[in-house]
Structure 1
Amino acid sequence: MAEALNIPTHLTVENADFSRAMAWLDGAVVPLEEARIPVRDLGLMYADMTYDVVHTWKGGFFRLEDHLDRFLASCEGLRLDPGTDRDGLRRRLAALVRASGLPDTLVYFACTRGTAVPGTRDPARHRAHRFFATVTPLVLRGQPEEMRRGLHAMIVRGIPRIAAASVNPHWKNTHWGDFHRATFVARDSGEDVALLLATDGAVAEAPGFNIVAYLDGGLVAPDANVLPGVSCRTMFEIAGDLGIPARYGRLMPEELARAEEAFLTATSCGLFPVTRLDGRPVGKGVPGPVTTRLLNAYYERKNAGWRITPVETIR
């Protein structure tokens, strides 16, 4: 008998208490609905910012240090200063989660270039950078029935992912113009999600997701023109423990088209099965056995405390 997907059923919009959502802004923790960013903040005006998203699970951060690694590398690459070091970031995020009292959350944290200085567009002259963070209830991107159905994806050709030589995808950014254009094309075609190609024609990524294919007996995820996803790395680590080969490499559209299974990875869901691509079934058109094993192992491990940092240990 095939293994069934074991997906939490309580992390829904209906069960989420957004009255407990909070924000860390200008040195204070405030209710999220009261948090405000100036309209001349350069993150808003020019997408001059970086961010990351970590989640908590049963009162503990999942892979916090990996997300801090990426955030600090992005800040360094973009010459942004969050105004504190790694330990300060840990304390700010932990204080925010404690203030909410929520056990399962999404924690978004960002650094912008700050408020525009009158009379100049020189980024070097904008030195009052702004750090902020928000905590909201964790609502799974992909409820049980959606996960069992899987996503219907479309490779959107003619709208390539922004070239890595222009915007380094390793620095998490909000340059989503290409993603949004492609998403409208996919939705207009009756599909759920857009997959973008790199300028060289290789598969890149989806909006907020890494794409992973299972073909020729192993997993492969694109290694260029993509954000190095923490969730993708998580699935590869689990795959290794289960004896499933996994690698990063060049993935062409025709290879993805013949995959036995495929899934997307993201913080808000772990993984999300892809069951149709360009109008055709992926494999048997349902979440496959490898996808199912990975997702079930992911939740089993988190429930056992794997890579969890309890919020209460950070002071």
Structure 2
Amino acid sequence: MRDMTDYARGAAYLAGDYMPIAEAKIPVTHWGYRRSDVTYDVVGVRDGAFFRLDDHIARFRASMTRLRMTPPETDDEIRAILHRTVALSGLRDAYVAMDCLRASPPPGAPRHPAFAPSYLICTAVPWVWVASEEMIARGMHLMIPKVRRIPPESFDPRVKNFHWGDLTEGQFEALDAGADFAILTDAEDCVTEGAGFNVFMVAGGRVVTPARGALDGVTRASVLELCAEEGIPTEIRAIPADEFRQADEIFGCTTAGGIMPASRIDGRIMGNDRPGPLSERLRQRFWARRAEGWHATPVDYASA
């Protein structure tokens, strides 16, 4: 029997077994590794409660169905696995991932994905932030790189995936430009998303987010809900890069960070080089609502 101290760095569920995060490994021959044949989702735990757990599981299932992945676990079983994984870790604030990977075809079977079984990995590790506290305080510095986002006609961005070649290249362009993050555009030079987060702009008091080329983020949906609560008009439409650069305010949003205001885009300083007033208002409201138990599911720590 494992000592619970083994789980101090996090816990994992892998194809039917629970283990400390350091023991979770996959074969290098599996297509999940060799071909990035993986879909995943991430749900956050803050103060001992999941945020929008059922929404994340539903999106995860939709992604698996789209990729024809059929692990043996049902949605109810995935929900129970996530609870137990967090409970084993003992973490009150956790970054909780659910991954579905394709293995590789057994000997003698055709080398086709239809013959490669899929399986589930769930992990809970200490909470991580996409943007640092310093970035949030001063506002993120953004830039639009030369690299373009993989087009939806090639791979549907609404299916969370490990195909990060374009996002990774964009991040190196951001590094070279002295920026924090890159916001990629599509073939029509319209804004899509950043590396792991959706984006919004504020123009004339209206909050606008791209309609195409990005993940349908759960936190993005939460932002739209908050705006409705606060009486802030919203719009979902194509945003040309030039219009985005001239926005009154810009912010990103993600599970691992909530609402993340920006203060610069391609070197242009917005406002007073600090998070804009509407962005900051929404950021504070987001965490206040979270503290009230908004969309919260308490972790069943007894399941450990």
- TM superposition score normalised by structure 1: 0.90
Structure 1 residues 282, 314: CA separation in 2 closer, same or farther (over 3 Å shift)? farther
Q: Counterpart in 2 of 1:8?
A: none
Structure-1 separation of matches of 2:25 and 2:172: 29
1:122 counterpart = 2:76: no
- Aligned residues with identical type, % of pairs: 38
2:133 is matched with which residue: 144, 147, 150?
144
Instruction: Out of 132-141 and 103-112, give the one that drifted further.
Output: 132-141
- On the 8 A contact 2:90/2:301 being kept in 1, the answer is no
Structure-2 separation of matches of 1:19 and 1:314: 17
Structure 1 residues 105, 313: CA separation in 2 closer, same or farther (over 3 Å shift)? closer
Structure-2 separation of matches of 1:144 and 1:49: 31
1:284 counterpart = 2:276: no
Q: Counterpart in 2 of 1:202?
A: 190
1:216 is matched with which residue: 174, 185, 204?
204
Q: Counterpart in 2 of 1:182?
A: 170
Shift of 1:312: 2.0
- 1:35-64 Cα offsets, whole Å, 9 max, x none, are 111111111100111000001121111001
Q: Counterpart in 2 of 1:100?
A: 89
- Unmatched runs of 5 consecutive residues or more in structure 2: 1-5
Displacement over 4 Å in runs of 4+: none
Shift of 1:300: 0.9
- 1:276-313 Cα offsets, whole Å, 9 max, x none, are 10011123321011111111111111111110011129
- On the 8 A contact 2:105/2:113 being kept in 1, the answer is no
Q: Counterpart in 2 of 1:236?
A: 224
- 1:54-94 Cα offsets, whole Å, 9 max, x none, are 01121111001111111000000000112211111100101
- On the 8 A contact 1:53/1:109 being kept in 2, the answer is yes
Shift of 1:257: 1.4
Secondary structure in 2 matching 1:240: helix
Q: Counterpart in 1 of 2:44?
A: 55
2:235 is matched with which residue: 229, 247, 258?
247
Structure-2 separation of matches of 1:18 and 1:223: 41
- On the 8 A contact 1:163/1:225 being kept in 2, the answer is yes
Structure-2 separation of matches of 1:92 and 1:269: 24
Structure 1 residues 118, 46: CA separation in 2 closer, same or farther (over 3 Å shift)? farther
Secondary structure in 2 matching 1:106: strand
Structure-1 separation of matches of 2:137 and 2:46: 22
1:268 counterpart = 2:268: no
1:29 is matched with which residue: 18, 43, 54?
18
Structure-2 separation of matches of 1:43 and 1:241: 41
Structure-2 separation of matches of 1:181 and 1:140: 21
Q: In the comparison of the two structures, how many residue pairs are matched? A: 297
- Unmatched runs of 5 consecutive residues or more in structure 1: 1-16
- On the 8 A contact 1:90/1:314 being kept in 2, the answer is no
Q: Counterpart in 2 of 1:10?
A: none
Secondary structure in 2 matching 1:204: strand
1:42 counterpart = 2:17: no
Structure-2 separation of matches of 1:216 and 1:53: 33
1:133 is matched with which residue: 122, 145, 153?
122
- On the 8 A contact 2:252/2:260 being kept in 1, the answer is yes
Shift of 1:216: 2.0
Structure 1 residues 87, 43: CA separation in 2 closer, same or farther (over 3 Å shift)? same
Counterpart AA for 1:42? W
Structure 1 residues 124, 230: CA separation in 2 closer, same or farther (over 3 Å shift)? same
Q: Counterpart in 1 of 2:3?
A: none
Structure-1 separation of matches of 2:138 and 2:160: 30
- 1:1-32 Cα offsets, whole Å, 9 max, x none, are xxxxxxxxxxxxxxxx9834111112111110
CA RMSD, Structure 1 to Structure 2 (Å): 1.7
Shift of 1:273: 1.2
Structure 1 residues 314, 213: CA separation in 2 closer, same or farther (over 3 Å shift)? farther
- On the 8 A contact 1:270/1:298 being kept in 2, the answer is yes
